[in-house]
């Protein structure tokens, strides 16, 4: 069992706050708004440990030490008109009984850490407590950061509803959209949004409180924000307009915040919210399924639960979008005959899409075109189960006996099933479906990625099926090659997953792995994101904030030194940083410090790049794009490159022969379409980036209709994001470069031949370390070696050969030099987002990568009257591999 249910507390007699406005000076009195007597009674802070607290818990009085820190501010009891229904459901939340304790602690301490299990009411209630206590009354806004967009939006809606306030007052802001107004009091936003605000206003003077939610997720922006806020809070205190910081976590693992003396000089108090969790019975598999069999295992488990266990929602955790869709389809197929009523038609929406695809696609013969490596397919054997509704599965001999622990109600197997997917790329309105009640008489099955682990609470889940797996993007710290690996998740996140079953009553968690594997192979906690990904954008951001010695920054967990070094190298090569200047007359001390820890400073170009909310490489392209009317194209390209996956993933080939044919046709259609979009001549050399440009242009031409997107394999959600990012970038470019005066024309005309060529050069300046050169195919050697080097490229940093991704429009074409967006590792190292470049451009656009020499027989230097420069013939070699570049005339 996980935890005991907490139904001992009877909250029935609690009433809401008094509704009269009351102003008090809090400096010398208990800094609390007036509360109704029943509320005060619930103040049982003695039972709750608040580590490092500086106040007397019994009396609630502020001690001398705390008073020093306590800001002098008037506390106002802001009235709220909640509906009785809302009020009733609030009272069931464990955090409600802690309101006074929480608010006292926040009032007395500048930084407070709040831990409470998912569902205890942190996200929805703490902002309301603060609002009612007047924190947003006249002193500023209450800002709440979420690592996920979906949480920022849905939580702002929920809190708005609970407070009975409009979206004018309880608003959200995510990267490209928001509904904030001058009246906004509570602002939910993604952590990235707040980080951008720090860049503009370091003191965050618009806010009176910042709540960092889901801090246990340790998202990279959350970590940086906490580091920055550890400096901002004391600064605001000094200025006499204190800022409160509340860090909220679903786990108790907060040592990185409390035990890090560089972060907070005074250890912040930790409030632990008792969880109201019902017991969840754990069922481990006796044996852990084979590497690729977990999806199949999950499928079988869902079928078994549905056929033999009492009603209650099932939540299945798998690793990615494709798995979610595969499993959803599989479950729907199995229980197809049960889908009858009208509401269920909605359930089949996704299936409709795939069948439409089948009928509309022209038949293109494709012999051998595999798009993605095959993995995680449901086995043939399971596919054969199809619509089989017999109870065959139950009588099958089985490895585990988990079902023996649970009472069976065979009658329930007659109920139909309502299957919903949940992953972050899913369109928002489809994500929101999980919060709605399933059609009457249906069992809800949600197949989710770890999006459902903590930030969202899906109602009425009784069974959790946990594959124990997680898909994580890994980066090589030096080369930047990324790969997705499916690994065991951590014990902490497996326990979070299990906890989802005990929200509304006792539940069961089926772990599709053995307890031995859990004990021996699962890490205790997942490692923070900052230690797992490149940090060039962070480094630039910090340099822009004039934090020169980034190694000294109070990171909750510092990024790897190698990653920092790689980031610095990249930024130097992009010209965003200037090498550290040697001190003229150094004192011995400063000299030593500089030598131990030299720090490059941001350049004017770097400042410009930092204004753009995109990766530094793309920022560089934008900074250079003001020539030949290229900016609209550069903006569209950068937007498309920054948004994840414009094209729908086609997925793996299905097992079923007829379906396979449809799949092949679909792939064929995509190939044809991309070739058409790439065009001829200079456009075609722009390769995949031309395809992106054309896709964006064509889609805008068609009014961004869902129909057009669907017909052309474009993700509508991505397209909408690109549109928003384009307009955001256009504004940013115009503010950095007012002379550019770019006007966004969504339906931009395709670039001219000259423009297409110049675009390739601009792309080169941003991707100057992502260059690869075709390898000679060996004339000798074994067949295997020959095959390996066929169509292979050599990139600057990697020993191993790299290849153009089969999804690329330049796949199987012959070009000597290419630049690529990134390299991912699947069965091979694949370059994606590929464009062709010319060798002669390297000495001009990437001179720092070249070694120059003057050929013996070169003509004498000459004066060029148009530019006023002296030009000389130079030969050069490029990069560490000394690729020879033909002689060119250079300044
Ligand atoms: O943040 P934490 O996980 O502690 O809890 P929460 O997100 O504040 O959720 C508290 C309760 O509100 C949960 O029981 C949710 O089911 C409920 N809730 C809801 O009914 N509708 C929403 N849109 C969000 C939360
Ligand atoms: Mg929450």
**Residue 482: predicted pLDDT:** 77
Question: Residue holding tokens 């619509």?
Answer: 387
Going 559 to 563 to 568 to 571, the CA torsion angle's sign is negative
Burial of 823 (0-12, 13-18, 19+ CB in 10 A): buried
Å from CA of 353 to ligand 1 middle: 32
| Ligand 1 center to 122 CA (angstroms) | 8
- CA 154 to ligand 2 centroid distance, Å: 11
Which residues make Cβ contacts (< 8 Å) with residue 308, sequence separation at least 6?
394, 403, 406, 408, 409, 410, 412, 413
Give the pLDDT of residue 719: 93
Strands 170-173 and 23-25, bridge-based pairing: unpaired
CA of 457 to the centre of ligand 1 (A): 6
Residues 6+ apart with CB under 8 A from 10: none
Q: How far apart are the first and last CA of the chain?
A: 75
Ligand nearest to the CA of 115: 1
Closest CA relative to residue 703, chosen from 733, 747, 661, 659:
747
Going by CA atoms, what residue is nearest to atom 21 of ligand 1?
158
Q: Closest by alpha carbon to 856, among 825, 834, 887, 812?
A: 887
Phi, psi of 821 (to 5 degrees): -70, -50
| CA 125 – ligand 2 centroid, Å | 9
> Cβ distance 812 to 368 under 8 Å?
no
Ligand nearest 273 Cα, by number? 1
Q: What residue's CA is closest to ligand 1, atom 23?
A: 158
User: Strand 869-878 vs strand 862-864: parallel, antiparallel, or unpaired?
Assistant: antiparallel
Name the pTM for this structure.
Answer: 0.73
Q: Determine which residue's CA is closest to atom 13 belonging to ligand 1.
A: 119
| Packing angle of the helix pair 753-766, 616-624 (nearest 10 deg) | 140
- In the structure, which protein residues have their CB atom closer than 6 angstroms to any atom of ligand 1? 93, 116, 118-125, 154, 158, 435, 457, 459
Can you tell me the ipTM of this complex? 0.98
Predicted local confidence at residue 590, as pLDDT: 52
- Residue whose CA is closest, atom 16 of ligand 1? 457
Nearest to 241 by CA among 208, 265, 199, 264: 208
For the CA of 496, the nearest ligand = 1
Q: How far apart are CA 682 and CA 836, in angstroms?
A: 9
What pLDDT does residue 411 have?
Answer: 39
Q: Give the residue, out of 123, 124, 145, 500, with the most ligand 1 atoms within 8 A of its beta carbon, to mutate for a pocket test.
A: 124
Compute the distance from residue 409 Cα to the ligand 2 centre, in Å. Answer: 34
**Could you identify the atom of ligand 1 that is nearest to the CA of residue 92?**
14
Rounded distance from Cα 514 to ligand 2 centre (Å): 30
Q: Which residue has a Cα nearest atom 6 of ligand 1?
A: 121
641, two tokens: 């490159």
Q: In sequence order, which residues have a C-beta less than 8 Å from that of residue 55 and are 6 or more positions away?
A: 61, 62, 63, 66, 104, 105, 108
* Substitution candidate for ligand 1 out of 121, 211, 457 with most atoms within 8 A of CB: 457
Q: Using only C-alpha atoms, what is the Rg of the chain?
A: 30
Q: What is the pLDDT of residue 340?
A: 43
Q: Considering only CA atoms, which of 126, 136, 102 is closest in space to residue 207?
A: 136
pLDDT at position 106? 96
* Ligand 1: residue whose CA is nearest its atom 18: 457
Largest CA distance in the chain: 97
| Ligand 1 centroid, distance to 859 Cα (angstroms) | 76
pLDDT value at residue 753? 92
Ligand sitting nearest the alpha carbon of 159: 1
State both tokens at 347: 């359930």
Write the DSSP symbol of residue 866: T
Q: How far is the CA of 121 from the centre of ligand 2 (A)?
A: 7
Q: Positive or negative, the Cα torsion across 594, 595, 596, 599?
A: positive
Strands (E), 340-460: 417-422, 443-448
Consecutive 10-residue runs of the chain (891 residues): their mean pLDDT? 34 32 29 28 31 35 41 68 94 92 96 91 96 91 93 94 96 89 96 92 96 93 95 95 95 86 91 85 90 90 93 94 90 67 42 34 21 23 26 26 30 72 84 88 92 79 95 77 86 91 90 94 89 91 89 91 91 91 60 56 93 92 89 95 85 75 85 90 93 93 90 90 91 87 86 93 93 87 84 89 93 93 89 94 86 78 80 77 77 75
Q: Take residue 645 and report the two structure tokens written for it.
A: 């996956």
- What is d(CA 319, CA 326) in angstroms, rounded to the nearest whole number? 12
Query: Distances in Å between the alpha carbon of 410 and those of 116, 417, 442?
Result: 37, 15, 15
């Amino acid at each position: 069992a996980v935890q005991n249910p907490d139904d001992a507390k009877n909250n029935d007699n609690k009433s809401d706050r008094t509704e009269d406005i009351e102003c008090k000076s809090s400096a010398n009195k208990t800094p609390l708004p007036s509360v109704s007597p029943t509320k005060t009674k619930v103040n049982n802070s003695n039972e709750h440990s608040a580590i490092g607290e500086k106040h007397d818990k019994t009396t609630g009085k502020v001690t001398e030490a705390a008073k020093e820190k306590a800001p002098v501010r008037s506390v106002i009891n802001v009235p709220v008109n909640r509906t009785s229904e809302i009020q009733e459901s609030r009272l069931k939340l464990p955090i409600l009984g802690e309101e006074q304790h929480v608010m006292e602690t926040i009032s007395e301490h500048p930084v407070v850490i709040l831990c409470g299990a998912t569902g205890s009411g942190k996200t929805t209630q703490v902002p309301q407590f603060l609002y009612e206590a007047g924190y947003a009354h006249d002193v500023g806004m209450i800002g709440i950061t979420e690592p996920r967009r979906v949480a920022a939006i849905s939580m702002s809606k929920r809190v708005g509803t609970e407070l009975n306030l409009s979206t004018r007052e309880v608003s959200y802001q995510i990267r490209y959209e928001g509904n904030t107004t001058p009246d906004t009091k509570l602002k939910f936003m993604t952590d990235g949004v707040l980080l951008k605000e720090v860049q503009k206003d370091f003191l965050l003077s618009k806010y009176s409180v910042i709540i960092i939610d889901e801090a246990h997720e340790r998202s990279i922006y959350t970590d940086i924000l906490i580091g920055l806020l550890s400096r901002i809070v004391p600064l605001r205190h000094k200025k006499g307009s204190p800022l409160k910081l509340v860090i909220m976590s679903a786990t108790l693992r907060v040592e990185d915040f409390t035990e890090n003396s560089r972060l907070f000089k005074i250890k912040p108090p930790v409030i632990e919210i008792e969880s109201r969790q019902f017991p969840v019975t754990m069922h481990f598999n006796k044996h852990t399924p084979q590497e690729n069999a977990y999806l199949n295992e999950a499928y079988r488990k869902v079928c078994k639960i549905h056929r033999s266990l009492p009603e209650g929602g099932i939540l299945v955790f798998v690793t990615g979008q494709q798995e979610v869709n595969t499993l959803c389809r599989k479950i729907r197929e199995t229980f197809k005959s049960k889908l009858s009523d009208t509401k269920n038609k909605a359930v089949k929406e996704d299936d409709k899409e795939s069948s439409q695809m089948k009928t509309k696609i022209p038949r293109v013969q494709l012999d051998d075109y595999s798009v993605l490596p095959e993995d995680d397919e449901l086995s043939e054997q399971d596919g054969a189960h199809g619509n089989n509704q017999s109870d065959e599965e139950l009588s099958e001999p089985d490895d585990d006996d988990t079902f023996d622990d649970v009472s069976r109600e065979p009658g329930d197997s007659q109920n139909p099933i309502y299957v919903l997917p949940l992953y972050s790329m899913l369109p928002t309105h489809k994500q929101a479906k999980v919060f709605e009640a399933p059609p009457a008489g249906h069992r809800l099955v949600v197949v989710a990625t770890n999006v459902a682990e903590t930030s969202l609470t899906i109602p009425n889940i009784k069974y959790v099926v946990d594959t124990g797996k997680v898909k994580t993007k890994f980066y090589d710290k030096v080369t930047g090659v990324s790969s997705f690996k499916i690994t065991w998740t951590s014990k902490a996140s497996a326990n979070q997953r299990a906890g989802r079953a005990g929200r509304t009553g006792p539940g069961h968690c089926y772990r599709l792995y053995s307890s031995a594997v859990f004990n021996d192979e699962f890490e205790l906690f997942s490692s923070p994101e900052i230690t797992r990904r490149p940090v060039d954008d962070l480094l630039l951001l910090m340099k822009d904030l004039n934090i020169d010695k980034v190694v000294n920054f109070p990171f909750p967990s510092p990024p790897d030194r190698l990653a920092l070094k790689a980031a610095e190298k990249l930024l130097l090569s992009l010209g965003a940083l200037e090498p550290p200047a040697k001190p003229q007359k150094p004192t011995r001390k400063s000299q030593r410090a500089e030598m131990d820890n030299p720090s490059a400073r941001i350049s004017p170009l770097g400042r410009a790049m930092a204004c753009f909310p995109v990766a530094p490489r793309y920022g560089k392209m934008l900074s250079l794009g003001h020539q030949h009317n290229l900016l609209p194209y550069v903006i569209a390209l950068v937007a498309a490159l920054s948004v994840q996956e414009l094209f729908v993933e086609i997925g793996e080939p299905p097992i079923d022969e007829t379906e396979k044919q449809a799949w092949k046709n679909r792939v064929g259609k995509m190939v044809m379409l991309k070739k058409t979009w790439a065009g001829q001549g200079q456009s075609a050399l722009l390769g995949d980036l031309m395809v992106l440009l054309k896709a964006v242009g064509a889609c805008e031409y068609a009014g961004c209709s869902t129909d057009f997107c669907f017909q052309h394999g474009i993700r509508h959600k991505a397209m909408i994001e690109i549109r928003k990012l384009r307009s955001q970038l256009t504004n940013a470019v115009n503010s950095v470069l007012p002379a550019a005066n770019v006007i966004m024309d969504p339906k931009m005309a395709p670039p001219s031949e000259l423009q297409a060529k110049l675009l390739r050069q601009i792309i080169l300046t941003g991707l100057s370390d992502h260059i690869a050169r075709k390898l000679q195919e060996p004339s000798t050697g074994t067949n295997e070696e020959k095959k390996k080097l066929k169509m292979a490229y050599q990139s600057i940093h990697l020993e191993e050969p790299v290849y153009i991704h089969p999804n690329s429009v330049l796949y199987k074409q012959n070009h000597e030099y290419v630049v690529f967006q990134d390299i991912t590792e699947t069965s091979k190292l694949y370059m994606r987002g590929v464009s062709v470049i010319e060798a002669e451009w390297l000495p001009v656009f990437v001179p720092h990568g070249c070694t120059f020499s003057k050929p013996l027989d070169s003509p004498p230097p000459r004066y060029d009257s148009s530019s006023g420069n002296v030009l000389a013939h130079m030969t050069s070699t490029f990069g560490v591999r000394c690729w020879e570049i033909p002689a060119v005339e250079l300044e």
